[in-house]
Amino acid sequence: MNVAINLYDLTQEELTRLLEGWGEPAYRARQLWAWMYERRARSFDAMTNLPARLRERLSAETALGTLVLEAEQVSHDGTIKRLYRLADGQLIESVLMVYDDDRRTACISTQAGCAMGCVFCATGQMGFARHLSAGEIFEQALHFAAELEASGERLSNVVLMGMGEPFHNYDASLAAIRLLMDRLAIGARHITVSTVGLVPQIRRFADEGLQVRLAISLHAATDQRRAALLPVNRRWPLAELISACRYYVDKTGRRVTFEWAAIAGQNDGPEEAHRLGRLLQGLLCHVNIIPLNPTGGYAGGPAAREALERFVAVLAEYGISATVRVRRGIDIDAGCGQLKAAVARQRRVFG
């Protein structure tokens, strides 16, 4: 069986070559491109200035994306979580976070599952299925952007923090970032890519010349503690990770954000804050503290607000800025580290 060509995977030049191979003039590709990225068309039938025969062939041999919406949940705080089925049956989740200051942030996935095995992350607990293509990554944001624009709003930010490790799928993730900038006009500084700490890819990313934000999942300030939470630390321990982060800062002039899932009684005390302060002192960075979100496969709980206020105060002694992030979408398992539960349920239903 022939697999339909996902048009979102094609560059404008590749789209032009495809249509010219069908005997179409070059301007048809420009028209199609405009329908896809300026008018956000969701079907070929809507492309009324294309001849019917071309629309029929496009429908038969290509696709305007491959994501099929299986389910949607809306949190009491306005967060939207979507479950998508891919062409091969794999399932992924995407999240739209709505803020009072008019920010609209899409959190998108780069893999079906994840191979990193972080113990407190629901996606890590489910294992790895496959990489997503650049088009599959990009399409998650495109759907949110199109719907926001239809209601007079716009997608302002995108974070590659959904299911998967973006730097494990480096080429497709970087290609998707360029699609976000080129086709959705989202500025590089409004895009964030998050990694558990794949050191060679961090250095490679520093050399890309992009102004995209970099976030590192840190969560512990000693190798022993971090390796217990994030197995990747056994491959690239903290000394190598921090060295790569310093290289990134020196190369780009941009600060690094360190994500810290605050776990009650484990990494929320002043001693750990002092360890973290000594580890990061002198590095242009910010610590983003997220009280641990609950997952079925990990028994730890979120740190208390009072403990985190002390934690932030200790970091300030080392000249390190830190904020405690408000958790969003927890009631629908849409928070950081929670993207799995609906996927597992749907796999039992549809698998």
Distance CA 83, CA 214 (A): 26
Q: Which segments within 122-173 are labelled E, that is strand?
A: 128-131, 157-160
Name the active-site residue from 93, 139, 259, 272: 93
- Reading phi first (left if > 0) and then psi (alpha if -120 to 50, else beta), residue 8 is in alpha
Name the active-site residue from 114, 118, 121, 336: 336
* Catalytic-residue membership of 24: no
Q: What is the 3-state secondary structure (H, E, C) of 261-290?
A: EEECCCCCCHHHHHHHHHHHCCCCEEEEEE
Q: Give just the sign of the alpha carbon dihedral 201, 203, 209, 210.
A: positive
Distance CA 126, CA 344 (A): 8
Q: Give just the sign of the alpha carbon dihedral 17, 21, 24, 25.
A: positive
* Cβ-contact 322, 287 below 8 angstroms: yes
Q: At what angle do helices 199-206 and 170-184 cross, to 10 degrees?
A: 30
* Catalytic-residue membership of 245: no
What positions carry a catalytic annotation? 93, 336
